[in-house]
Chain A
Amino acid sequence: MKFRSLFTASAVAASLLLSLATSRADDGKVKMGFIYVGPKDDYGYNQAHAEGCAAVRALPWVEATEEASVPETTAVQETMQDMIEQDGATVLFPTSFGYFNPYILKLATQYPKVQFFHCGGMWHEGLPNNVGSYFGYIDEAEYICGIVAAETSKSKKIGFIAAKPIPQVLRNINSYTLGAQSVVPNATVQVVFTGDWSLPVKEAEAANSLVDQGCDVLTCHVDSPKVIMITAAKRGVMCTGYHANQSALNPKGYLTGAEWNWSKIYSDYANWIRAGKSLQAGTIPHLVRGGLKDGFCKLSDYGPMVSDKTKADADAAKAKFMAGTMVIYKGPIKDNTGATVVPAGTEEAQQDINLEKMNYLVAGVIGKPN
């Protein structure tokens, strides 16, 4: 580096420092902080959130800072506090399940003016007033994926590769299965748990084993579905996507997929806050939930292998979701050990808190929930 450019560089640095010093002044912008557990470009869970963040950042009255690859340790507490203290953030979106307890709860009591919105299903009465939870009922989209998968499958066996048997994952598996069984009553879903959110080699092995066992549609609930979609393409089987549209990875066999639409949720929050609403005042609900109807999640376009009849069946189910008349967990439902989990005559609607504590796999799923 030449001396001249060194000199200009330091001049730039000096002006930058000055601007940093002044940028803390209150300029009426909504200052948001987003925290992800993995890299921003994982073509999966974190990327979906980062795209949501990019959408609100485009609004001229929003200032958003991001931090990626923040582990679920005291590191996230430090990151949140840094965003509050150093960047002046007043709204935080820590997006991983494991951030909630104890980290968010601890900081929330310490910073009662800051609003913490956690992605997951965990806020309940008695927890700090400035904490809220948001999540999408993506299992509605999974239900429809199940319909498409079961009708298109020849073997009527579907392979589901999942990270861990936690309620949100079990709910996706169950909804997928119930969707499949709504059109093909004898369809089965074989589950393989890999044990962690991102293990590419294990995921590929699981995909291969499932295909060897006769599954001809694969789907998954892991952080980065890319490897599974590629393996499906290599083995010449079909797949349904998760988190984002992965049709490019298996152009022939991609049927449809359940996608997040976080930009909708984040812009809702941004608008509420700009309008002066808050958790503390009770003008923003502590639990924000929505499915297809609310635009929190969506379906990928149908792939070339989906027949017109199947499209019609899937669209019919989607129409019911849009109208708000569909209930996935309508008794009687038995789990795969034969025990009744939703008795006849009972309906557990999407908002039912029972569903967020799910610890069973419905009949027709081959696998153990723990």
Chain B
Amino acid sequence: MIEDEDAAAIIPQGFATNLGNGALPALEATDGAGASRESRRWLAMVESVVIPIGALVVSLALFGIFCALAGANPFSVYHSIYRAAFGNWYSFQNTLIRAAPIMLCALCTALPMQLGLVMIGNEGAFVMGGLGAVLVGTTWTSASHMEALIAMAVAGMILGGLWIMSIGSMRLHRGVNEVIAGLLMNYIAIAILNHLVNGPMHDPSSLNKPSSFPIPDANSLGSIPGTRVQFGLVYGIVACIASWFLIKHTTFGLKARIVGGNIRAARLAGLPVGSITLIICFLGGAMAGLGGMAEVAAVQGCASASLAAGYGYAGILVAFVSRQNGLGILFVSILLGGMLASGGMLQRENHLSDAIVIVFQGIVFLTILFSESLYGRFKIFQEKTA
């Protein structure tokens, strides 16, 4: 985000580039030299902090107006949001609990976006990952705690990874639009989930809520010691940092970004576009699958219709808003977690409809997306050129 400030805000165009349209100068940003470059970097960094924060303030003001029109006191609404999401360690844990699965799902969109693919099959990969983990966790009962956790994570990652990789492959080999394929694959994954938990995987003792057989308690992933936050948060944080490192600081990441910058140029340069695409898609899907595994192994304990709770869709938006940057995803997921955590308090204290939290998310995300257009528009962040 800081290095290639000229290209960062725009989603890479690789796959999106249609015939006849010029490629973007993604990586060949024109630099000045020496000290001037340093100060430019610094200004860009300040800009990339000030603009989102400004957007957040504006969106809170807009939301306050909305609440006032709806008959609630905006200041009491703000207080509720603060108290419910960030007010103390208890409520901050609420926020983190909600942020954990979203982080991993966001990577499922953010990684393929490096190639210019808009991958929205997160929900499906999350569900498949959860199913894979349950399948392994309930059949391999002789495993030790550590073995079971590793096996479940691997199963979830493989299933989620293959799920997204198949979408990438449809795009690569058959030219099927990945947005539509992702959408359809989500519906298909949910249908498979419902079919399995009501049919072949159904635990007859799960009477009024059809579920799979439970993962033995001994193999539960549980919470981070000393907190209420499910262990998936650790996976999420590690995965976000690792993804950031992979994309920004490795040769493979550089190659992926070159594909994202201009797919024809990448081909001409002899890069294996096909395998890079499939690997990135697999990695993205594996992250969402890991999220699904953490959800069943740490929280739900079995697979049921609740596995498709919308974390995947939330992840898409987080990936866009954080400009597909691994570190950005960390913060935006926590922000969204906070918004979700405040929904209850808005209902209970301000007597607003439960839909208010959806409106809130809509306003915040629209404002942040609007703020993308402001980069480079404020003179104060531009270096004076002689």
Contact = CB atoms under 8 A, between A and B. Distances in A.
Q: Do chains A and B touch in the complex (CB under 8 A)?
A: yes
Interface of A: 1, 9-10, 12-13, 16-17, 20, 39-40, 65-75, 78-79, 81-83, 85-87, 97-98, 100-102, 120-122, 164-168, 195-196, 356-357, 359, 370
A98 B209 contact: yes
B74 A9 contact: yes
Contacts of B367: none
A72 B354 contact: no
A67 B347 contact: yes
Contacts of A101: 206, 209, 301
Given A72-B209, A79-B344, A98-B304, A359 B349 contact: no
Given A67-B348, A82-B344, A17 B209 contact: no
B102 to A, nearest CB: 12
B218 interface: no
B84 A82 contact: yes
A83 B90 CA distance: 13
A298 to B, nearest CB: 23
A73 B306 contact: yes
A166 B207 contact: yes
B348 A65 contact: yes
B295 to A, nearest CB: 8
B348 A166 contact: no
B345 A86 contact: yes
Contact of B68 (A1, A85, A122, A356): A1
Nearest to A23: B349
Interface of B: 65, 68, 73-76, 79, 83-84, 90-91, 94, 97-98, 194, 198-199, 202, 204, 206-210, 228, 230, 295, 299-301, 304-306, 309-310, 340-341, 344-345, 347-349, 353-355
A122 B207 contact: yes
Contacts of A167: 207-208
- The interface residues of chain B, by DSSP majority, are classed as helix
Nearest to A96: B209
A74 B296 CA distance: 11
Nearest to B347: A67
Contact of A166 (B76, B83, B209, B355): B209
Query: Ordered nearest first, which 5 A-B pairs have the shortest CB separation?
Result: A13-B75, A69-B354, A97-B208, A68-B354, A98-B209
B190 to A, nearest CB: 10
A286 to B, nearest CB: 17
B94 A82 contact: yes
A166 B73 contact: no
B208 A121 contact: yes
Nearest to A85: B90
B202 A10 contact: no
24 contacts: A9-B75, A13-B75, A16-B73, A16-B79, A17-B79, A20-B349, A66-B347, A68-B347, A75-B309, A78-B94, A78-B98, A78-B341, A86-B83, A86-B91, A87-B348, A97-B208, A98-B305, A100-B209, A102-B300, A121-B207, A122-B208, A168-B208, A195-B194, A370-B199
A66 B349 CA distance: 10
Contacts of A75: 98, 309, 340
Nearest to A195: B194
Given A12-B73, A13-B75, A78-B97, 13 more contacts: A9-B73, A12-B76, A13-B73, A39-B354, A66-B348, A67-B344, A73-B295, A73-B309, A78-B98, A82-B344, A98-B305, A166-B208, A196-B305
A40 B355 CA distance: 11
A164 B210 contact: yes
A26 to B, nearest CB: 19
A264 B348 CA distance: 23
Contacts of A165: 198
Contacts of B341: 78
A86 B355 CA distance: 21
B386 to A, nearest CB: 44
Nearest to A100: B209
A127 B6 CA distance: 60
Contacts of A65: 348
B75 A10 contact: yes
Contacts of B90: 85
